[in-house]
Amino acid sequence: MALIITDQCINCDVCEPECPNGAISMGQDIYEIDPLKCTECVGHFDRPQCQVVCPVECIPLDPLWQETNDELSAKFLDLQKEVRVKD
């Protein structure tokens, strides 16, 4: 699953720089997570770093975007290929 930021977000700005995939950005009112870039930190860390640093715990799994660990790992590898192409 990808993660989602709920409307309990206080816009504290701590999650965005922690995302290794650049999946978090400011939305219209609160931060948002791009599910196409979110790997729940698979390939980078043992736990999603945005959840680790969030002071209000407003970043649950997105029930509308379900993915297996294998799918998250494949997405991680695809994102890494994109990064290498840009460099």
Which pLDDT does position 86 carry in this prediction? 67
Q: What is the mean pLDDT of residues 53-59?
A: 98
3 state SS of 16: helix
| Residue 24 lies inside a defined structural domain of this protein | yes
Number of independent structural domains in the chain: 1
| Residue 5 lies inside a defined structural domain of this protein | no
| Residue 51 lies inside a defined structural domain of this protein | yes
CATH of the domain at 79: 3.30.70.20
Which pLDDT does position 8 carry in this prediction? 97
Q: What is the mean pLDDT of residues 14-33?
A: 97
Q: Tell me the residue range of the domain where 76 lies.
A: 16-86
10: confidence class by pLDDT, cuts 50, 70, 90: very high
Q: Which uninterrupted H or E stretch holds 32?
A: strand 31-33
